[in-house]
A = this chain, B = another copy of it.
Amino acid sequence: MDAYCLDLEGILLPEIWIAVATRFKVKALRLTTRDVPDYDKLMRYRLRILKGEGIRLRDIQRVIGGLQPLPGAKQFLEKLRLEGPVILLSDTYYEFWQPVMRKLGCPVLFCNRLGTDRSGFISSYHLRQKDGKRKAVRAIQQCGFHVRAVGDSYNDLAMLKEADVGILFNPPASIRKDHPKFPVARNYQELLRLLKG
A138 to chain B, nearest CB (A): 8
Residues of chain B with a CB closer than 8 A to A142's CB: 135, 139
Classify chain A's interface size. 20 to 34
**Closest CB-CB distance, A58 to chain B, in whole Å?**
17
Q: A-side binding surface: helix, strand, loop or mixed?
A: mixed
Q: Are B143 and A1 in contact (CB under 8 A)?
A: no
**Are A109 and B129 touching (Cβ within 8 A)?**
no
The segment out of A26-34, A77-85, A160-168 that lies at the interface is: A77-85
Contact A87 B106, CB 8 Å, known A143-B136, A144-B132, A145-B128: no
Minimum distance in angstroms from A124 CB to a CB of chain B: 14
| Residues from 116 to 170 in A contacting B, C-beta threshold 8 Å | 126, 128-129, 132, 135-136, 139-140, 142-145
Are B106 and A78 in contact (CB-based, < 8 A)?
yes
Cα distance, A102 to B86, chains bound together (Å): 14
Closest chain B residue to A86 by CB distance? B108
Residue A110 at the chain B interface, CB threshold 8 Å? yes
Q: Which residue of B lies closest to A105 (CB)?
A: B105
- The answer, yes or no, to whether A187 is at the interface (CB within 8 Å) is no
- Residues of A with Cβ closer than 8 Å to B? 1, 78, 81-82, 84-87, 94, 98, 102, 105-110, 112-113, 126, 128-129, 132, 135-136, 139-140, 142-145
